Every structure is written in structure tokens, then in C-alpha cells.
Amino acid sequence: MPLPLLLEFGCEEIPAAMLNALAGRLASGLETELRGAMLWSDAARRSSVWTPRRLACHVDALLERQNDREEEVVGPPAKAAYDAAGKPTRAAEQFAARFGLTPEKLYRVRQPKGEYVALKHAIAGQAAAELLPDCIMRAWKAVAAPRAMRWDESGLEFIRPLRWMVALLGDAVVPLRLGAVEAGRETRGHRTLGKPAISLPTAGWEHYLAALKENFVLAEPDARRRRIEAGLAASANGAQPRPDAALLDLLVNLTEFPTVVRGEFDAGFLDLPAEVLITVMRGHQHYFALEEAHGKLAPAFLAVANQDRDREGLIRHGNERVLRARFNDARFFWRHDRVKSLEARLEDLRHISFHAKLGNYQEKAWRMRALVQAIVPQLSHAGEYFEQVSQAAMLAKCDLGTDLVKEFTELQGQIGGLLARAEGLPATVADAIYEHYLPLSSEGEIPSTPAGSMVALADKLDTIVGMFGLGEIPSGSRDPYALRRQANGIARILIEHELPLDLNAMIQVSAQLYAEAGYMAWKRPKNEAVLDFLRERQGFIFQEVKGYPGEEVRAVLDNPNAHHAGAPWHNWQKLRAVHETRERYPEKFARTAEALKRMRNIVEQAGGLAQWLRPEWNPKFFNLEEEVQLQQAIEPLVEGIELAQDREAYAEALDGIAALAEPLENYFQKVRVNDPDTELRENRLRFLAWATTGLAGIADLSQIAV
Amino acid sequence: MSTPTFTAASSTVPGAAPLAGLDFQDLCRHLQGYWAKQDCILQLPYDLEVGAGTMSPETFLRVLGRAPYRVAYLQPSRRPADGRYGENPNRLYKHIQLQVILKPPPENIQQLYLDSLREIGIRLEEHDIKFEEDNWESPTLGAWGLGWQVMLDGLEITQFTYFQQCGGQTLDPVSVEITYGMERIAAFLQDVDSVYDVRWNRRWSYGDVRRDDEVQMSVYNFEAADVENLWQHFKLNEAEAQKLLAEARRALPEPEAGAAAEGAAAAGRAAPRLPLLGAYELCLKCSHLFNLLDARGAISVTERVGIIQRVRKLAVETATLWLRLHP
């Protein structure tokens, strides 16, 4: 009869951020082990719950013992098992005897190495109770933690100390020992509200969950989540808790019985920047900030206690006290930091290292300024904000020396922007400083203003070129300076703000600035290497973030003949044009792509594009009508591609290319490129090389062919 | 300082409820008494400047090696850069820790800790206690451990750490280090917003006892300390420590792999006169001088890493040799 299995590993508080992954690995590892041990029944279902103090798994129907089965065992080679007369040898007898059988039971089997004898051996299923200890032990050990610790003389390692263990199969304890801990049937309730020992009669899941609940432990994370959400809604009091999924996840894993406690603070603190107040509440105290209907902060917060209620209001009172102290600190910093202007802080940047081998932040600030001054004039309306962007680039890092940023690192940039505003610098400057670290993730918000975008670009590109010059190039999971994130940011800013800037030119300016600074360890990286890296990140954005098909992305980016290949915005326009055209004429587009692939292959097989581009083809060697027709169809297209600068033009040119399906197919039907006449053959190859190159100016459609 | 009065509520603590919560010194006595009952030696604060209770030899050296140990001591801990001229109600240049070391840690160590909170009058059923991940690392001491900050109604009151390494040595057995922030706990118990309003005893406040230190030492640490002299002291102390350690190293050769325990024990018997503790004190002085130089803004970020390395080298060398004497 199938039996339920209940396991609970009781630990000292496991770090919240690791709980989900640990519980998941434990449950799936256990299933793998149980299947491997042939104890898993077809009807079996597993469940898993966790709290900071426990990881628990349950399997509702485990086989009480393995099914009896027959196993084929292969013995000695047939040649050795039978003598010339066909009688079993001593070897055959011994082999059979090992399984309590006589040689008559042997039969012949073909093996890769020849013919052998084999027998069928009946195996009685083993009891689950005998097999489980090893299964559980292996599943537990496979829950490797990245930073395990030791805590007693047993030498057992885990992320935090293991203190108790429940292992029940039906109503029996599975005999099991991990380190100093012996498995039993006793679990523990909430640290201060529940019983310290709760005896479980059986492995019943519902009973386990109910027993814990009676002892103030909501073992199911979803139950804790619901309780927090309900508490937030009930305590908001007309205001709105700022939505914060990450904070909610954290609190679910920090509590066994969460209760929302509302606290208030002096409205006088609302003079402090909201960013600072929210960071203090959220980051340090794990509180939800509350917003009034018009988006302004309310002088109140919602804390989540690991309690059933706040009996005497002591928890509320204590949290209010702590928050008041923290806000007072922040106020002290905010006042103190404003004494010195950002410009005066530029001098302090000399003492803050950007990178041991790349000088300090003041040097970086100068480079950022020079870089934006090279970029901005390429844009329309540049005159309007040239001065202000320069100033913003210069001051962007000045908040690194402030107490507020030392205290709240995650507010870097924002603090600078707030200080700039407070000292009366133009809004353009303040906003640019405020948002120049954006985006913080591949889908995060990007700077909203042109000036902020320029400073953000300069900051990120400067870091990338600096690190490439030190050979710090991201590879695999190694990307200590988050260069990929910064490159993603560059691509998204240029694309989403429709800035047709060419990265190639920017890289050159940036590299020149480093070269002039003369850092010993810095070696000028190849422009192409930096560009390739930035292109690869555009591919990531196009494919993974924007969701375009990989072959279309490759057609645009993996295309050395493209015009404006160094400008992410152009690449984006081309990609959209390719996609739209392909959607409009799916059938013709596929045929054209197929024919273009054929065209490219022919040239490649004859030695490659470079070999046939010079001298150019000559129409006087055309001797077939299809050749002339194709030439007449392609020539205006190539001209249009040369001139195209925006999406409409790209789309129009691509429309034309889609219409090439027919002349291309006719050409390949009638024209034999490898003509015995050398002159004809070479002219055809020159023509195809030219056409391949010219038509790939927007996208190399041959990559889209299936 | 105010005129002493002999009423229960001190006149220096306006608005505080009379005798709500333990006085600062009673809090210290109660916690020490509690840990004394757990077989802890009640040690005295170490009589050198240290940045944390961990740096006292009672922790740094005693957690090395196999011998069991239990100790509790108050330790005034100096962090020059944290000074605020006595103006900030929560930040101090010198604060007082109660440091408890249990080697090896008993199985019910968390419960022992929670019971210590009951001992000072905190009814745990009425409060919110959380153990939040906080892994501790001291690059200067070559030490790290895993554990938590203990939060009481949103206030961090204790660091609770299972030491895994100290002085670059992997610990076996591990020790538990419990570090109580005494000012915070006292302010919580007495429900006051400023550390300076904490009652030290029934007549005097924390401010009466300590505010002048904070002001004067902030002036010294941030403005008056002579940078050139500090560097000189640093170099002299470092050189002397290096000399002592080099001599000790010659007297304590690395034990052969096979005869490790025996050889070291023999060396230990032969070399009790080695002044390793002297070398360690010089290392502590270097560490404090580094903190002072840092507060004076005399250390650039690049130099910083190098100097931490230099202090760490002394600490690791001391620990390595200490372990040969006390395996």
C-alpha cells in the first residue's frame, strides 16, 4: 500500500534570498532519488513548503516496497560457457550458482563484443524504509549551498545550522542521522508563540500544516504572502502602499507568521527628498512606504512583524523610534551635504578612485565632459544644451563624496541631482545628473531627458573603453564591472531616444582621451573589439528584450557590408523594416532570401566577395536577357539603399528587394554562372559580388533563408 | 555636569519615565551575570584601542586551536571616523559592546541568546524578533563568519556570527560570537531617542559620562591628530611587530606534516617566552592608527587597500604562529 513521506529540515534562520532555490532543489532532488530507487508510484505527487526555520517536502504516495522484478545478468562469453560438445563448463556452472540457479537456465545473448550467456534473476523489492535513509541523505547533500558553514564538531556543512529533522514514512520514523541530528517525529512551532516541540503521529501533509498553523507557523509561503497582502490593504488607511514585489518576496521569507503593523512619523520629515525617505524605509527597515492619492508620501509606513499581532503597540512604537533615528540621521546628512557645492566637491573626487589602474573620479569627470562635448554637436538642437550637458557631465560624480551616498549607495546620481536642484543649478543639469546611472537593468527605465542620456552614454562608454584597455573583457559569467549592463544601456538609450549616433566615432574619442591620460596599464583596444561587444549587446536587446526573431537580428547585425553599422538606432530601424517587409510578403520574401543565399554561396565558392569586387562587372559581357533584366532591377535598388537614412527609406528599399524574387529565380534558371568562357564567368561573378554587397547595405537577407 | 540630586528620576534626563527599563550599568551587569551563569569567564575590556570586541585577544587568539573557551567582556570600541562631535543622537566615536564567545557553540545557542534578552526584561512574546542574514568579514583580521543581525522591533541590537576563519586560519571547532550594541539596547529599554539621554545610573546620564569624550575626541580625530606623527607611529609599530614575528617564526618552524601535533606541542612547551602577544598588540596599534589616518582623510582609496593588507599580514602571521603554540 502506498505511504506518505514527510521530511522537515529544521534550521537556524536561512537567508531569505536563498530559501526558494534551496527548497526547490531539495524537493526536485528528492523526487529524482526516489524515482532512482524505484519507490515513486505513478500516482505520487510532491509538495514543498518553507519558512526561515524549515525546509519541508511531502510525497503523498510512496511505494511501501519496490516492486519485485526480474533482471537480466550477462555472464561469461558463450565460448567459455560451453565446451566443444556443447556442455556447460565450470565457468557456466559457477556463474549460474552465484544466483542459485543451474546452467540449464542460461541462454545466449548477442553483445557488441560477441556472444555471451545470460540468465534472468528474480529480485525481491526492498522496503522503502530500508532505502529511504540513503535517498534522503543524497538529496540533502545535493542541496549544495554557495556559502556553506560548519557549526559543530560533526563537520556537517549547510547554509545555516541544522537543528532538528522530521522524517516520517506513514506513521514510522525513518532512521536517519545527519551530523549530530537524529531524525524523529517532533517539529517546532513559532519561536516565541508556538510550542517548542510538536509530536507528529503520521506523515499526513494536511495534519502537518495544521499543527504548525496552530503553533503560529504558516508553512506555505503563499499563505504568508496572502496574509501580508491582506494586512497591507487593511492598514493603508486611505493611502496606497508603494508596490514593491521584491520587498514582499523578502518579507514572505523573513517571517513564519507575518503581521502588518502600521506606524507613523513626523510630517516634518517630508521636507527631506522622497527618494531618501523611501530608501531608508525600504532598504534598511523593510517597510512599505505609503503614498497619498496625488503620489506624495504619507507620513506613515507599514512594517511586517513576525508575530500574530502587536499586543501592546510595542512593536509599532519600537519601529517608529528606529525610523525617527534613521530619518534624523538622514536629515543631518542632507543638511551637512548641502554646505559644500557640487563644484567644490569636484576637488574631493581626486581622492576617490575610479579604478586602481585608471585614476580617480575627477579624471573620469573630465573625460566624460570631453566625451559629451564631442557627441552633442552631432545632434540637432545641440546648441540649446551644449553648456548644460558639459556641466552635468563634469558634476555627475560629485555626489560620491557625500555622506548620503556613503550611507545610501543605491541613491548615487539621484543625490547629486537633488543637491544640484537645491543649490539652484538649471533643471537640465540637475535632471541629467539625477538620471545618468540609468538604466539599472536590461529592461529598467532609461534617462528621460536628452542631457541625461548624453551623460549616461559618456559615463558608460568611458567605463567600457577603460576596462577593455585593461583587458577586462566580459566572458562567460565573468563581468565584474557589469560592462554588459552598461552596453545594454548604451544601445537602449540610442534606440529609444532615436539618436542616430555612430559608436565607432565615440569609441575613438574615448580611446583618445585614455591615450592622452597615459595610464601605464591601459593599452588602446581595437575599435572593432569594442564595437563587436556593443553589437553583441544590441543583438541581446533586439532578440531577448524586444523579441525579434534571431535570423532577422543576425541579418542586420552580422553584416559587415551594412551602412551605418556602428549606429544602434540605424540597426534598429533596419531590423523593424526587415521584420515589417517580411510580414507583408512572407512568400516572396522567403524566395528572395533563398535566391540571395544562392547568390552569396556562388561567390563564396568562387573565392569570396573581396576577390570579385574589383574590377567591376561590365554590361558588355551580358549575353542573356535574364542578366540584363536582373541588372536593371537591382541597379536602382542599390542606389536607393545607398541613400536610405531612415525607416521609411529602409522599408521602401526592402520592398524592392522582396520584388526581386522573380528576376533572381529567372536568372538562376537560365544563366550558368560557371560558363566555360572565362570572360563571361568572371563578369558574372563580379556582377553577383557587386549585387550581394549592394543589396546587403541594409540587411544580409541571405541569413534569413531557411 | 548637573548638580547631583538624590531623587529616583535624574534631573539630567528630562521627560524619561522614572526607572523605566534598566540603567545602562545595570544592563551591563545583568547581561554579564547571565553569561557568567553559562560558564563564561568575565574578562575585563582590553586595555588598548580596538575597533571592535573581535580584536581583543580574548576573541582573536582564543578562537584559534582546539581548546574550548567561553568568555564575556564589555569592550569600548573606537571608530574615529564615526565621531559626530557629540551632536548626532545615534552615532558615537566610541561605543560599548558586550562581546560573548562560546567555543564550541552549544546546540541551543540561539535559545541561550534569546533567554539573555528575557534576562534584561524583554518579553519576547510582545516584540518582533528577526534573525536577518548578515555575513561578517574583517579584511584587516583575515576573519569571516556567517550569521545574522538580530532585529528587535526593527532595531539592530546584536551581531550573531559563527566564525569560520580568523587570522586566515580555518577554525576547528568554530566559535559563536555574540556582540550586543549596549547603547542601542539601553536606549530601547529606556525608550529614549538620544543615546545621550540614556540613564547611566539613577543619577547620571550617558551624556554626563561621555559627551565630553565624544566632542574632544572628534576634534582630535578629525582635526588635531598629527598626520605625520601618525604615519611615523604606524611604521615604528609595524617594524617592531615584523621583527618580533620574524624571531618567533625562527623559533617555531613549520611542523612536519606527520609529526604536526607532537612537534607543535613540543615547540609550545619550549617557547612559552615568545612575545607573540606583544606582536599582536603592535598590530592592534597599527590598526587603530590606520583608522585615525582614515578619519583625517590622509589615506587615498588606492593606498587604503595596501595598508589594510599590511595590518592583515601582521594579524595572519600572529595567528599562524599562535596556532603552532596552541594547536
Taking only the tens place, the pLDDT of each residue in A283-315 is 889 999 999 988 899 999 999 999 999 988 999
What is the nearest CA distance from B61 to chain A, expressed in angstroms?
A: 19
Q: Are residues B41 and B190 in the same domain?
A: yes
pLDDT, residue B301, reads 64
Q: Are residues B42 and B168 in the same domain?
A: yes
CA distance A55 to A29: 13
More confident site: B9 or B283: B283
Asked if A329's CB is within 8 angstroms of B90's CB, the reply is: yes
Whether the Cβ atoms of residue A203 and residue A6 lie closer than 8 Å to each other: yes
pLDDT, residue A63, reads 93
Q: Are residues B84 and B202 in the same domain?
A: yes
Q: Which of residues 15-44 of A touch B (CB under 8 A)?
A: 15-17
DSSP line for A549-604: -HHHHHHHHS-TT-TTTT-HHHHHHHHHHHHHHHHHSHHHHHHHHHHHHHHHHHHH
Asked if B162's CB is within 8 angstroms of A353's CB, the reply is: no
CB-based contact, A442 to chain B, within 8 Å: no
pLDDT, residue B267, reads 54
- Closest residue in A to B302 (Cα) is A356
CB-based contact, A177 to chain B, within 8 Å: no
Low-confidence residues in chain A, pLDDT < 50: none
Taking only the tens place, the pLDDT of each residue in B203-253 is 999 999 999 999 999 999 999 999 999 999 999 999 999 999 999 999 888
Q: Are residues B128 and B253 in the same domain?
A: no
> Does the pLDDT at position B257 exceed 70?
no
Task: Enumerate the residues of chain A whose CB falls inside 8 A of the CB of residue B87.
Answer: 332
User: B273 in a domain, yes or no?
Assistant: yes
CB-based contact, B29 to chain A, within 8 Å: no
Task: Enumerate the residues of chain B whose CB falls inside 8 A of the CB of residue A152.
Answer: 104-105, 107, 173-174
Residue from B126, B128, B134 whose CB has the most chain A CBs within 10 Å, to mutate: B128
Asked if B305's CB is within 8 angstroms of A356's CB, the reply is: yes
Asked if B164's CB is within 8 angstroms of A150's CB, the reply is: yes
- Count of domains observed in chain B: 2
CB-based contact, B265 to chain A, within 8 Å: no
pLDDT, residue B268, reads 54
Q: Which of residues 189-218 of A touch B (CB under 8 A)?
A: 191-193
User: B72 in a domain, yes or no?
Assistant: yes
CB-based contact, A275 to chain B, within 8 Å: no
Which of A44-53, A157-166, B165-174, B290-299 has the lowest average pLDDT? B290-299
Residue B170, phi then psi, degrees to nearest 5: -75, 130
Provide the 10 A C-beta neighbour count for residue A127.
Answer: 14
Task: Enumerate the residues of chain A whose CB falls inside 8 A of the CB of residue B83.
Answer: none
Q: Which residue has the cell 529480485?
A: A123
Asked if A153's CB is within 8 angstroms of B173's CB, the reply is: yes
Give me the interface pTM, i.e. the ipTM. Answer: 0.90
Long-range residue pairs from A381-389, CB within 8 A, at least 24 positions apart, any chain? A381/A450, A385/A428, A385/A450, A385/A451, A388/A426, A388/A428, A388/A429, A388/A432, A388/A451, A389/A428, A389/A432, A389/A450, A389/A451, A389/A454, A389/A455
What is the nearest CA distance from A702 to chain B, expressed in angstroms?
A: 53
Asked if B148's CB is within 8 angstroms of A192's CB, the reply is: no
Asked if A52's CB is within 8 angstroms of B91's CB, the reply is: no
Residue that terminates a domain, selected from B160, B190, B223: B223
Q: Are residues B175 and B235 in the same domain?
A: no
CB pairs under 8 A between A and B: 116
Q: Are residues B298 and B239 in the same domain?
A: yes
Mean pLDDT of chain B: 89
CB-based contact, B85 to chain A, within 8 Å: no
Q: Which residues are CB-contacts of B43 (< 8 A; sequence separation ≥ 6)?
A: B56, B58, B71, B72, B73
> Does the pLDDT at position B15 exceed 60?
no
User: B71 in a domain, yes or no?
Assistant: yes
pLDDT, residue B16, reads 38
CB-based contact, B105 to chain A, within 8 Å: yes
CA distance B55 to B77: 9
CB-based contact, B167 to chain A, within 8 Å: no
CA distance A402 to A340: 9
Task: Enumerate the residues of chain A whose CB falls inside 8 A of the CB of residue B162.
Answer: 149-151, 161
pLDDT, residue A380, reads 77
Span B167-179, mean pLDDT?
96
Task: Enumerate the residues of chain A whose CB falls inside 8 A of the CB of residue B174.
Answer: 149-152
Q: Are residues B168 and B245 in the same domain?
A: no
Asked if B154's CB is within 8 angstroms of A285's CB, the reply is: yes
CA distance B52 to B82: 13
Asked if A15's CB is within 8 angstroms of B131's CB, the reply is: no
More confident site: B13 or A495: A495
CATH number of the domain within which B149 lies = 3.30.930.10
Q: Are residues B256 and B237 in the same domain?
A: yes
Asked if A152's CB is within 8 angstroms of B107's CB, the reply is: yes
CB-based contact, A324 to chain B, within 8 Å: yes
What is the nearest CA distance from A444 to chain B, expressed in angstroms?
A: 27
User: B279 in a domain, yes or no?
Assistant: yes
User: B313 in a domain, yes or no?
Assistant: yes
Provide the 10 A C-beta neighbour count for residue A108.
Answer: 12
Q: Are residues B218 and B87 in the same domain?
A: yes
Residue from B108, B131, B149 whose CB has the most chain A CBs within 10 Å, to mutate: B131
For residue A167, what is its C-alpha cell?
522524517
What is the nearest CA distance from A284 to chain B, expressed in angstroms?
A: 9
Q: Are residues B300 and B232 in the same domain?
A: yes
Task: Enumerate the residues of chain B whose CB falls inside 8 A of the CB of residue A266.
Answer: none
CB-based contact, B306 to chain A, within 8 Å: no
Partner-chain residue, chosen from A13, A52, A151, that has the shortest CB–CB distance to B174: A151
CB-based contact, B297 to chain A, within 8 Å: yes
User: B252 in a domain, yes or no?
Assistant: yes
Taking only the tens place, the pLDDT of each residue in B89-112 is 889 999 999 999 999 999 999 999
Q: Are residues B159 and B298 in the same domain?
A: no
What is the nearest CA distance from A59 to chain B, expressed in angstroms?
A: 30
CB-based contact, B15 to chain A, within 8 Å: no
The domain A343-547 is classified under which CATH number: 1.10.3210, 1.10.1200, 1.10.3470, 1.10.10? 1.10.3210
What is the nearest CA distance from B278 to chain A, expressed in angstroms?
A: 31
CB-based contact, A149 to chain B, within 8 Å: yes
Task: Enumerate the residues of chain A whose CB falls inside 8 A of the CB of residue B127.
Answer: 307, 314-315, 318
Interhelix angle A382-395/A427-434, rounded to 10 degrees, is 50
Q: Are residues B132 and B247 in the same domain?
A: no
User: B55 in a domain, yes or no?
Assistant: yes
B62: domain range? 24-223
Provide the 10 A C-beta neighbour count for residue A550.
Answer: 12
Residue that terminates a domain, selected from B223, B240, B257: B223
Task: Enumerate the residues of chain A whose CB falls inside 8 A of the CB of residue B193.
Answer: 321, 324-325, 328
Q: Which residues are CB-contacts of B22 (< 8 A; sequence separation ≥ 6)?
A: B30, B120, B121, B186, B189, B190
DSSP line for A21-65: HHHHHHHHHHHHHHHHTT-B-TT--EEEEEETTEEEEEEEEE-SB
Indicate left, alpha or beta for B121 from its phi (over 0: left) and psi (-120 to 50: alpha).
Answer: left
pLDDT, residue B19, reads 44
CB-based contact, A520 to chain B, within 8 Å: no
CATH number of the domain within which B295 lies = 1.20.58.180
Residue that terminates a domain, selected from B207, B223, B239: B223
What is the nearest CA distance from B191 to chain A, expressed in angstroms?
A: 8
pLDDT, residue B304, reads 80
Task: Enumerate the residues of chain B whose CB falls inside 8 A of the CB of residue A340.
Answer: none
Nearest Cα neighbor of A696 from A586, A592, A605 is A592
DSSP line for A313-343: SHHHHHHHHHHHHHHHHHHHHHHHHHTS-HH
Q: Which helix (H) or strand (E) holds A657?
A: helix A647-658
